[in-house]
Structure 1
Amino acid sequence: MTGARRWTRRPEGSNWGEFGPDDQIGRLNLLGPDAVKRGLAEVREGRSFCLSLPLDLPGGSTLNPRRAPPRHFATARAGLSNFNHALAQHDPDLTDVICDDAVLLHTQYSTQWDSLAHAGALFDADGDGVAEPVYYNGWRAGEHVTGSDGTEACQGCGDVEGVAARRLGIETMAETCVQGRGVLIDLHAIAGRDRVAVGRDALLGAIDAQGAEIEPGDILCLHTGFADAVIAMGGQPDAQALHGAFAVLDGHDPALLNWISDSGIAALVADNYAVEQSPARAGDGPHAALPLHEHCLFKLGLPLGELWHLGPLNAHLRGQARNGFLLTAPPLRLPGAVGSPVTPVATV
């Protein structure tokens, strides 16, 4: 099925079709060889930083009751005790000691990527006067991003319809390798611990003050201090304190959304929850609860990274009067998933 058959009109301000009628990776198309070489040119010290939180943080479910911490358990091995993995239990001539494990993981609990199948919108893509649920580039809910035939249950997530992103799944993002030039902007330097909704002017002011240059194909990373506070809380997050503090992007600022479109960035990352102010300010009439998600994921095909651990990298780069680094951040190549944990690596 071609894009022309999926939609006859596209959302205002979107880039649907510009990377091809059946495109599934959106602005990640900009992570070509030139973008990778720009990232490599930022490597001067050969020092690397892990940009992932421990995946059992934030801790609990107070920040989002729909997402639970990982459940980690041993896999059963027939005839062997789970507490003694020596294969000699089965064959006295064997000296091997084996340990296997498994994990039940909410893919967007901790440091994560949102795939383009994570957030769509009600939009009249076929021009019949009725809005239908669609995702980036006109891929349809219920057809291309669907539930499973049955009900799947897991402890901690309740009975939920299984998800199958037959288009726009996180594996399409993984196949790009997500490697290029990261640019880190320190919003904590302008807001501190205050809850500040950052619009275009404040963001550009920070970019200029910190001597950064944003080029098409860059991955913009925003340090607010949120993830540092999560770590300091030691797995017992104070939801009220966290949701009432630290900088967030103002998804209701049209100038900010236009700048994201015009900047040519390939992806947008923050160390906070949701990147943007959530809940967003109320709008008039039907509107998106998360307008920046709608603009980035639905209109532009621009992936969002959340809850990245940017504090140590930020401190190092600020001390060096630098902003750029090589970023390598592929998600899990898990077909059909709409999000993924990620262990990003910054090399400076």
Structure 2
Amino acid sequence: MTKRWTRRPEGSTWGDWGPDDELGRMNLLGPDQVLKGVAEVKEGRAFLLSLPLDLPGGNLLNPRRHPPRLFATDRDGEPSYNFDVSRLDPKFTDVISDDAALIHLQYSTQWDALGHVGGRFDADGDGVAEAVYYNGWRAGEDVVGPSGGSSPFEGPQARRLGIEKMAQTAVQGRAVMIDLRAHLGDDRTLVDMAMLDRIMKEDGVRVEAGDMVCLHTGFADRIRDMAGNPDAEVLHGACSALNGRDEALKTWVRDSGVVALIADNYAVEAHPAEEGHGDCCAFLPLHELCLFQLGVHLGELWWLTDLAAHLRAAGRSRFLLTAPPLNLPGAVGSPASPVGTV
């Protein structure tokens, strides 16, 4: 019980790390977990786990998200690109280019902050559901929408649960690769707990509390092959994804103590989620469980193929993951350029 809530979602971690916690399971990613990750470094080889941030290309996968736009900064009304500094003083020999970017923070390889998805829940115990986020932080008070200003879209900010909280942990520790593609190929498959457990047992994969879990599906390969011109219909029916409606899978996520779930696909879970589960439920059930209830961060659209192939050839599944998001106060998501080291 805190000043913000008198009841918490059943099975959630609200309050487990104090009444004002904004990290969730990221609290488990301390020195011991970093050392466990470092112990997995045998070869000193590093893998970049990010797609080029201008992929998937276009906005067909999500009409609200667009590719990054690079442009030159302004220098006295001129673009500051290939600027010859001798124009300022003939003695100088420098030529300078300076640019900026307009970027949708969750367009490509990304992290979801805990302020990304909340839920309608009766945290006050008064019989009326209100819009809240992890640990009872309130929509409109702690995660604040646009203020109006010069544009109706300007001014939103996560005063609590912003991505900078995650960044400040440095996000480094042991990660575990589960290679779904090696078992399921590129066909669309909804992965439930029975299937996931079978694959993990066949590959000798062990997941322990404090681990970050990576799921290789092959979806990012499809995106790269499309070279910036994605076929949305093909992609929405491609490759495996976790079945967020599977109760056994949700129980495993809750009980395993995983710090983060990461995938090379669009949403980690199947999107849209499987139908036929009554009239009242979350549109994104695994997002609800992870971000809203448990404080488990989600990573989406990572490039895992090269690392997954290397680990499989070596008979390994664990590695050191270093993956801080941008330290951008108030954002509810962030691009990432993660590095896996083996």
Q: TM-score range by the shorter chain?
A: over 0.9
The question of 1:336 aligning with 2:330 is answered yes
Cα gap change, 1:91/1:80 in structure 2, threshold over 3 Å: closer, same or farther?
farther
1:230 alignment counterpart: 223
Percent identity over the alignment is: 62
Gaps of 5+ in 2: none
1:307 pairs with 2:305: no
Deviation at 1:4, TM superposition (A): 0.8
C-alpha offsets along residues 207-234 of structure 1, whole Å, 9 cap, x if unaligned?
1111111111000000000001101110
CA distance in 2, matches of 1:279, 1:231: 22
**Does the aligned pair in 2 maintain the 1:152–1:162 contact within 8 Å?**
no
Q: What is the rounded CA distance, in whole Å, between the counterparts of 2:166 and 2:178 in structure 1?
A: 24
Q: What is the identity, as a one-letter code, of the residue corresponding to 2:314?
A: Q
- 1:127-276 equivalences under 5 Å are 127-151=125-149, 160-276=153-269
Give 1:290's match in structure 2, choosing from 275, 284, 290: 284
Q: Does the residue aligned with 2:156 lie in a helix, a strand or coil?
A: strand
**SS of aligned partner of 2:128:** coil
Distance in 1, matches of 2:85 and 2:56, equals 37
How do 1:1-150 residues align onto structure 2 when only pairs under 5 Å count?
4-78=2-76, 82-150=80-148
Distance (whole Å) between structure 2 residues aligned to residue 55 and residue 339 of structure 1: 14
SS at match of 1:222: strand
SS at match of 1:149: coil
User: What amino acid is aligned across from residue 311 of structure 1 in structure 2?
Assistant: T
Distance 2:182 2:155 in 1: 42
Query: What CA distance in whole angstroms lies between the structure 2 residues aligned with 1:293 and 1:81?
Result: 42
1:16-56 C-alpha deviation (Å, 9 max, x unpaired): 00111110000000101111111000000000000000000
Moved more, 334-343 or 3-12: 3-12
**1:2-25 CA distances to partner (integer Å, 9 max, x unpaired)?**
x61100000112110011111000
Which position in structure 1 is the counterpart of 2:320?
Answer: 326
Aligned amino acid, residue 318 of structure 2: G
Task: Give the match's secondary structure for 2:145.
Answer: strand
Deviations 1:176-214 (A, max 9, x none): 000000100100122111111101111111111111111
> Is residue 278 from structure 1 mapped to residue 276 from structure 2 by the alignment?
no
SS at match of 2:2: helix
1:94 CA drift (Å): 1.6
One-letter code aligned to 1:299 = Q
**Contact 1:252-1:280 at 8 Å conserved across structures:** yes
Amino acid at match of 1:301: G
Give the CA deviation at 1:83.
4.9
Answer yes or no: is the 8 Å Cα contact 1:226–1:272 preserved in 2: yes
For residue 84 of structure 1, report the CA deviation from its aligned partner: 3.6
Distance of 1:173 and 1:9 partners within structure 2: 25
TM-score normalised by the chain length of structure 2: 0.97
Write the distance in 2 (CA, Å) between the matches of 1:168 and 1:117: 5
Question: Number of aligned pairs?
Answer: 341
Separation in structure 2 between the aligned mates of residue 337 and residue 82 of structure 1, nearest angstrom: 28
Q: What is the SS of the residue equivalent to 2:196?
A: helix
User: What's the offset of the Cα at 1:160?
Assistant: 2.4
Distance in 1, Cα, partners of 2:111 & 2:133: 16
For structure 1, which segment, 76-85 or 262-271, has the greater mean C-alpha deviation from structure 2 after superposition?
A: 76-85
- One-letter amino acid matched to 2:76: A
Deviations 1:298-336 (A, max 9, x none): 000000000000000001100001000000000000000
User: What's the TM-score, normalizing by structure 1?
Assistant: 0.96
AA aligned opposite 2:35: K
Matching residue's letter, 1:144: D
8 Å Cα contact 1:224/1:271 also seen in 2:
yes
Q: Is the Cα contact below 8 Å between 1:80 and 1:87 reproduced in 2?
A: no
Deviation at 1:108, TM superposition (A): 0.1
Q: In 1, are the aligned partners of 2:80 and 2:98 still within 8 Å (CA)?
A: no
Paired residue secondary structure (1:4):
coil
* C-alpha contact (below 8 Å) 1:80/1:90 kept by paired residues: no
The answer to whether the Cα contact below 8 Å between 1:187 and 1:222 also exists between their aligned partners in 2 is: yes
- Consecutive unaligned residues of structure 1, counting only runs of 5 or more, are 154-158
Instruction: Give the match's secondary structure for 1:197.
Output: strand
